[in-house]
Amino acid sequence: MSRIAIRRPGRAATDAAARPPRIVPLALAIALALPALGGCIRQTGDFDRVEANPINDAVLPFAGGLVAEYGRGELVSGFQNTDRELVLRQRAWALVVPPHTKDWIGEILVEGQRTRLLPEIDHRYNVAAYWNLLRSDGLPIHVDRLEISRYGFASSEARWARLISDMNQDALLIGPFWAEARRVAGDDRARLAAMNRRPDLSVNELRDATARIDENARVLDWVWRSMRFRLVSYRYAIDRLAVETPTDRRAAVERAYAALEQAIHAAERESTLLAGRPGPSIATAVKPSRLATATPPDEPVPQK
């Protein structure tokens, strides 16, 4: 992921009345985003690595930050990303929309959500989309009324082979992502500890640090929801394919599904231990800081 960054304008330190009217940043976001929408699908190069692209790496995230902050009232940080946060986001993308899902998951919608131009919409995805792909036989596949594929299968066994392959690929991607998530959780603990040691931090610094921890948690939760969606989609397809085109490979299919489910559950258990509560988020993986949880004052915190 490119390090290109567009810095947002400085934000007022106190109440919303001191900020520019919401219509101003929202209008700016729309003006930036609309010309880029036609080419917003991220391009991949060798080994399916995302290629650097100023539209996807700078313009759309900048516009999405304005929409998220001023349109939806979400926390948006002005901090630079750490190397680990960049890697976390790269691996999140690889899990949410890996190459083997691009013919049944709408990549434009995923990119809109990644850049925060769109809210969290993945809970509305159609669990039957993967099943429809397996049954396509060259017929057009649509996601949100957009044709994204005309995939065909040579035989019924080819469908089962695709299903096994996709589940195995998903299972292999989970470990590297969660390893990076643990490192980012450690960085967030260090960030909060540093905040507690610095009584002279400005309100903007406090806000940006708190927002960055929230953003990291959002990335983790996004991946978590995506993997749960895939599990449900695969189960939906397996159960229906078993009725329509039975196979002698059913045991291999169930092993692949069980391996993926186990990998997700293992990550869930570890995440619960980190966070001290059920769920995938690392937002509470660290002890809350008095600076992170308190209402920011109107003035910078004075020296002791």
Amino acid at 142: H
Can you say whether the dihedral through the CA atoms of 82, 286, 183, 229 is positive or negative?
negative
Instruction: Mean pLDDT check: name the lowest of 105-119, 211-225, 238-252, 258-272.
Output: 105-119
- Distance CA(151)–CA(174), nearest Å, equals 27
Question: For 63-77, how does the pLDDT look when each residue is reduced to its tens digit (9 = 90+)?
Answer: 888 888 888 889 999
Q: Is the pLDDT of residue 34 over 70?
A: no
Q: Which residue has the higher pLDDT, 29 or 157?
A: 157
Q: Residue 294 to residues 17, 217, 261, 290, 301: CA-CA distances in angstroms? A: 20, 19, 39, 6, 12
pTM of the model: 0.70
Quickly count: other Cβ atoms within 10 Å of residue 237's Cβ: 25
pLDDT at residue 95, as a whole number: 86
Report the pLDDT averaged over residues 71-88.
Answer: 92
3-7, 35-39, 119-123, 160-164: lowest mean pLDDT where? 3-7
Task: Tell which wins on pLDDT, 160 or 289.
Answer: 160
- Residue 109 — very low, low, confident or very high, per pLDDT cuts 50/70/90? confident
Q: What is the mean pLDDT of residues 200-228?
A: 92
Which pair of tokens denotes residue 130? 């993967």
DSSP letter at 285 equals S
Mean pLDDT of 12-40: 48
Answer with the residue of higher pLDDT: 18 or 22.
22
pLDDT at 133: 84
User: What is the rounded average pLDDT of the residues 227-253?
Assistant: 95
**Residues 171-179: what's their mean pLDDT?**
91
The region of weakest confidence among 17-26, 58-67, 270-279 is 17-26
In which band, very low, low, confident or very high, does the pLDDT at 155 lie, cut at 50, 70 and 90? confident
| Cβ contact 291:195 at 8 Å | yes
The candidate with the shortest Cα–Cα distance to 134, out of 106, 170, 103, is 103
Residue 233: closest CA among 105, 54, 77? 105
CA proximity to 262, closest of 176, 170, 181, 162: 170
What are the distances in angstroms from CA 104 to CA 144, 152, 199, 225, 235? 11, 13, 50, 16, 15
Q: Residue 210: pLDDT band by 50, 70, 90 thresholds?
A: very high
Mean pLDDT over each residue of the chain, to the nearest integer = 74
Predicted confidence at residue 211, as pLDDT, reads 95
How buried is residue 132: exposed, middle or buried, by Cβ count under 10 Å (0-12/13-18/19+)? Answer: middle
CA separation for the pair 50, 143 (Å, rounded):
22
Span 162-191, average pLDDT: 93
Q: Which long-range contacts (CB under 8 A, 24 or more apart) does 288-297 make?
A: 288/192, 289/192, 289/193, 289/195, 289/196, 290/196, 291/192, 291/195, 291/196, 291/201, 291/206, 291/209, 292/192, 292/195, 292/206, 292/209, 292/210, 292/213, 296/13, 296/203, 296/206, 296/207, 297/203
**HSE (CB half, 13 Å, CA atoms) of 116?**
25
At 58 the pLDDT is 78
pLDDT at 79 over 50: yes
Query: In the predicted model, what is the mean pLDDT of residues 115-130?
Result: 79
